[in-house]
């Protein structure tokens, strides 16, 4: 067995699992439910991991992960800046969290 993928992002992990399932690539999920132990365990040991059961699938599985990682664009941390106080604000904010100015 070899470790294929790990991520703190559950949606990205599920995407990889779904693609592997669609291609009938055998894998094993370790630490799937260990998130509740975070704090008791180091964070590195409580993240879910995907492991390939059969290493002969390695090349194909790595292509799946690479293509998903290439298409996965992390959300921009601060998509807009307040015109009143120059405070960076997240996409979810329609008004500035610092001064209350409306989003442009």
The pLDDT tens digits for 64-78 are 998 888 776 655 556
Which segments of the chain have a pLDDT < 50? none
* Cα–Cα distance for residue pair 61/51, rounded to 1 Å: 10
Query: What does the pLDDT read at residue 102?
Result: 92
State the first-to-last Cα distance of the chain, in angstroms, to the nearest integer.
52
Query: What does the pLDDT read at residue 17?
Result: 92
pTM: 0.57
């Amino acid at each position: 067995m070899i470790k294929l993928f790990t991520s703190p992002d559950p949606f990205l992990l599920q995407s990889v699992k779904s693609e592997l399932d669609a291609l009938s690539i055998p894998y094993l999920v370790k630490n799937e439910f260990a998130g509740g132990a975070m704090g008791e365990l180091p964070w590195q040991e409580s993240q879910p991991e995907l492991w390939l059961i059969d290493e002969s699938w390695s090349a194909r599985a790595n292509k799946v992960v690479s293509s998903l990682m290439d298409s996965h664009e992390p959300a921009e941390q601060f998509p807009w800046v307040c015109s009143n106080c120059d405070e960076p604000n997240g996409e979810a904010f329609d008004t500035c969290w610092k001064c209350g100015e409306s989003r442009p």
